[in-house]
Amino acid sequence: MLNREKLTAILSLLLLAWGIYDFAGALITPVRGIRVPDTTLPKSSRAVVFRPYRTFSDEGEPARNPFSFSEGWQRMETVPMALPPLPAAPGPVPLPGAGPTGPEAGFLYVDRPPVESAEEGGS
């Protein structure tokens, strides 16, 4: 009895066999109807144009120093600028507000530490 899995396997094997047959047929008998277009270049476009490069020689006094930064450049003494004010460093989460004080929140506490009793501090 054919179920879905067997039917899918048979269909995929048929597709594989058809692909192999097509590929092998293309290798054995290539298509003869394809023509390669003519791509010959005319001789006039094959010439390579010579590009003269600038050369620096030590003949005579140079009009400009090729290694200078810029003509007429002068160093200026400046007063160092003050650092800009930095904003507060950001935190990973926003900080909660100040909230109420202890007595306002209802916490009862003693200002002085409790006195040790005689039993705890004894020998």
pLDDT digits over 18-37, tens only? 999 999 888 888 777 778 88
* 24 found inside a domain: yes
Q: Is the pLDDT of residue 122 over 90?
A: no
Which pLDDT band holds residue 81 (cuts at 50, 70, 90)?
Answer: confident
Within-domain flag for 22: yes
Is 29 strand, coil or helix?
coil
Residue 46 lies in a domain: no
pLDDT value for 9: 95
| Domain boundaries, position 23 | 1-30
Lowest mean pLDDT among 3-7, 15-19, 52-56: 52-56
- The answer as to whether 26 is a domain residue is yes
In a domain, 103, yes or no: no
Question: Is 95 a member of any domain?
Answer: no
Sign of CA dihedral 100, 105, 107, 108: positive
- How many Å separate Cα 111 from the centre of its chain? 58
Mean pLDDT of 40-46: 68
Query: What is the C-alpha to C-alpha distance for residues 107 and 105, in angstroms, rounded to an integer?
Result: 6
Split into its structural domains, the chain has a count of 1
**pTM summary value:** 0.27
> Can you tell me the distance from the alpha carbon of 26 to that of 6, in angstroms, rounded to the nearest whole number?
30
- How far from chain centre, in Å, is Cα 1? 56
- Cβ atoms of residues 66 and 57 within 8 Å: no
